[in-house]
Amino acid sequence: MADVLPLVEARLTTALGEPDARAAVTFVGTDRVEVLRFHDRGPEGDIVRYATLGMSAHPMTDPAALLADPVEGPRAELVLSVRAGRADTDKVLRPLAVLAASPQVEGVIVAPGGSLDVGGPLWPGAPFSSVLVAEPGGLVEDLVLDAPRDPVRFLPLLPMTANEAAWKRVHGAQALQERWLASGTDLRDPARGTVPLG
């Protein structure tokens, strides 16, 4: 079977253009995870997108399973989009790599509607330490692999403030997204405040 990661990188560059920077992080006992940076100077303004490369090399395994299936199971990469020039968001590279390594390190399955927490600011001074995993398919299409392997899904990450993360735990991801939508929240603003949750 062909190595997955060259196919994943090709899909990312097809969707987002050539990366203008990349960094690699290796954690003890895990494969290397790269984070690629893409600039999108489109009609929506200057957007920087960070995408992981390496998380999809192995399928994610249910933590209750006795043995990890080396072929079948969900595969994903993470994509974070922020407005350029408003914060030192390039420091998000290591936290993103930590999140991408979490299926290998902690045996978690990352899926839409879930929350991921890095235990500190996503970048210096960031009001966010966690993210909501959103539905894939809008920015980067799923990468279909040869059967029996599952497709690679490119999961958008939406930064959450501590209050939003707490509110989401009680009311659910859908309710939080509806609050954001109703308030016209710019989820790509790296300095935005908490959405009204009253």
Average pLDDT across each block of 10 residues of the chain; the chain has 198 residues. List them in order.
86 96 85 93 88 94 71 93 94 93 88 95 95 94 93 98 96 96 96 90
Helix (H, G, I), strand (E, B) or coil at 99: helix
pLDDT of residue 61: 83
- Distance (Å, whole) CA 45 – CA 91: 21
How far is Cα 180 from Cα 15, in angstroms, rounded to an integer?
Answer: 26
How high is the pLDDT of residue 2? 54
DSSP category for residue 186: -
Q: What is the pLDDT of residue 167?
A: 96
Res 186: pLDDT: 96
Query: pLDDT value at position 25?
Result: 87
- Which phi and psi angles does 51 have, rounded to 5°? -130, 135
- Give the whole-angstrom CA distance, residue 153 versus residue 183: 28
How confident is the model at residue 66, as a pLDDT? 65
| 149 and 1 Cβ atoms separated by less than 8 Å | yes
Which H or E element spans position 157? strand 152-161
Residue 117 contacts residue 130 (beta carbons within 8 Å): yes
Predicted TM-score (pTM) of this structure? 0.94
